[in-house]
Copies of this chain bind each other. A is one copy, B any other.
């Protein structure tokens, strides 16, 4: 059986879960407390991060490399467009969310409010939380600007860039840190993504000690 070692509120795990579900690749989900010393896990991934995908007895790590691999080996349905120019834009936006958004927003809100507590690292640093709450506005505006010109984030078709963005935003929505009233087109975009069958498993996630708000799993939020 294929397995994904993941953590429910890891945006990188969520990106891979969405990709697997879109491509209808069945995996068993195994929750991994990756911050606790675990020699077995480090053997599977010396980087010590989630997600790790066990696929046909091979261990794959690094979420973007995994998604590119799945796209090359299971091309349908495609999550990348055909032309190099459009593919560039998908990869640029994946990096935008997984690097810039992650650094400026996800790590400042989710990691301060949730991960720190779970990992026993103490209380949220209010300076970080404030900074994340400020920066997410700019990112939502940027998404709104993109969606003024395009149906989906990277162009006129849905791509991995949409899943990368939705992976981060859904984790933040779990802790009510997304103001969906800021931009109507971003809300509409999220409603479309959220109603996909591939999203169901994410909406069912529960992290002990952090119950999600009611709107989190509501398709009509």
Contacts and interface: CB of A to CB of B under 8 A. Distances in A.
Nearest to A96: B47
A68 interface: yes
Given A46-B142, A95-B65, A100-B47, A84 B88 contact: no
A87 B72 contact: yes
B91 A65 contact: yes
A92 B60 contact: yes
A181 interface: no
Contacts of A94: 65
Interface in A48-107: 58, 60-62, 64-66, 68-69, 72-73, 84-85, 87-88, 91-92, 94-96, 99-100
Number of copies: 2
Given A65-B88, A72-B87, 13 more contacts: A47-B100, A60-B88, A62-B96, A62-B99, A64-B64, A65-B91, A65-B92, A65-B94, A65-B95, A68-B87, A69-B87, A69-B91, A72-B84
Which 9 pairs show the lowest CB-CB distances between chains A and B?
A65-B91, A62-B95, A72-B84, A69-B88, A65-B92, A62-B92, A73-B84, A47-B100, A65-B88
A37 B142 CA distance: 19
Contact of A91 (B58, B62, B85): B62
A95 B64 contact: yes
A101 to B, nearest CB: 10
Nearest to A88: B69
Contact of A64 (B85, B87, B91): B91
Contacts of A66: 88
Contacts of A73: 84
A90 to B, nearest CB: 8
Contacts of A68: 87-88, 91
Interface in A26-54: 46-47
A52 to B, nearest CB: 11
Nearest to A45: B92
Contacts of A47: 96, 100
